[in-house]
Structure formats: C-alpha cells, structure tokens
Amino acid sequence: MSKTEYYRTTLRSLADWDDFLLRESRLPGPRANLELVSVVANEGTEAQFKHFLTFDAERFPANTPGEFLAVCGAVGLGRLLAQGDCSVLETLRKCASDSRWRVREGVAMALQRLGDTDMSRLLSEMERWSRGNFLEMRAAAASLCEPRLLKQKEYAKQTLVLLDRITASISSSTDRNTDEFKALKKSLGYCWSVVVAANPAAGMPLMEHWFSTADRDIRWIMRENLKKKRLERMNAGWVQHSRLQLERTSLN
C-alpha cells in the first residue's frame, strides 16, 4: 500500500481527523507532509476545511503541527474552488496575508488547482489580487508562476503583464523593511525565470527592460532570476549577456 493509499484509507476510517493530522504533520521540521495535505484536500469536506482554518497564527504559530491543519484547510478550499465554488475566494484572499509562510504557500497551491481547471478564471482573479497588498501580490505571482500552468504561451504572456505590473509597483514602494515586502521580493526572485522560460519571445524583452533600473530591490530580483538553471537551459548566451548588462548599469 502506498503512502497516499494509507492516508486515504485511514482518513476514511476516522470520524475526527485532527489528532491524526497533527501527529503526521512532520512539524516542527523543515518539510511539512505535503503528500498528506493533498489527500486531505481531495477527501475532506467544506466544514472540515473551515475547521482547519480556525488553527490561527496566534494559537498555532509557524512550524507547529497546528499550522499544518491550516495549510490543509487552505489547499482544501482550492479543491472546492476548482469544482466551481467561487465563494471560497474571499477566505483564500484573507489567508494569503497569513503571517505563516506555509499557509501562504497553501493558498498558492489552492489557486493552482483552479488554474488546472480554468486558467482564464485564475488570471482574471489574480489580476485583482495583484493590485492588493504585498502578500496578495505575492500570492498572485506565486500561484501563476508554475510551469504546468504556463504551457500555453498566451497564458504565459498574460502572466508576464501581471508580473511586470507587480514589479513596477516595487519602484514606488516606500515601506520596504516589512516581512510582507520581503516575502514578495523573495517570490519575485524566481517568478520571472519561470514565465520567461515558458515564453522566451515575450519574456526576454520584458525582463530586459528592468536591467537598467536604479532600484536596488528590483536589480536584486533580476539577478536572482538570472541564477536559475531554467534560464540557462533556455538560452545560456542571453543569460550571460544579461548578467553583464546588469553589472555595467550598477557601476554607472
């Protein structure tokens, strides 16, 4: 019996899942049990997901077993969303600003479930989120910048437009010492590489536009993306030229 089958069989035999999930969460630790998260999301009910989301950051801080239940709740709402229940978007948007990074990742995973079934709807919703606070912007970028969702070049092109606007918002940001800003910056440090690799013809010129900026945070974002192997595989010569261009403008 595989782990997934074991988890599915066990959960179906239990009236209350909390103790089992807490015990199998692998938290505290470096890696939460994402295989179990997926099974819970596929097997659970709306009532269970809402219950799991009551495991809030105040009582169950980051890297505790209670956080794991909140992650399960967020990803579970993604299954409902993919099945057509758009009412859960409001709750997911609130969860996108959770202080715990794993819960925020759970939101991205939930939104990607919508992308698997209706990418146009996800793009439309993330366009709104991309005009919100730093963590909502971060959720929009992280959910869309997933290779499996960008196999159609038009989806990658639309994601590039959104990503470009989020990046532009950084240049006008004054409050950059917050954890929220740092989380957005860190995500943008890989998101560009994912989308450019998915649509090089549209992505490379748009990314090049930022190589001449004087904004230190945006320059950091560009440098981080140029370190990613996916861009090396895409066009190693362009990556090398782009790195040199960034270095030259930083000296001016």
Q: What are phi and psi of 100, to 5 degrees?
A: -95, 125
Specify burial of residue 87 (Cβ count, 10 A radius: 0-12, 13-18, 19+).
Answer: exposed
pTM for the predicted model, two decimal places = 0.95
Confidence of residue 250 (pLDDT cuts 50, 70, 90): low
Asked if pLDDT for residue 139 goes beyond 70, the answer is yes
Amino acid 249: pLDDT: 75
* Average pLDDT of the chain, as a whole number: 96
| Tens-place pLDDT, residues 36-79 | 999 999 999 999 999 999 999 999 999 999 999 999 999 999 99
201 vs 207: CA distance, rounded Å: 11
208 vs 237: CA distance, rounded Å: 14
| Tens-place pLDDT, residues 88-116 | 999 999 999 999 999 999 999 999 999 99
| Tens-place pLDDT, residues 161-199 | 999 999 999 988 888 999 999 999 999 999 999 999 999
What residues have CB less than 8 Å from 159, skipping those under 6 apart?
123, 144, 145, 150, 195, 198
CA-based nearest residue to 234, from 195, 191, 206: 195
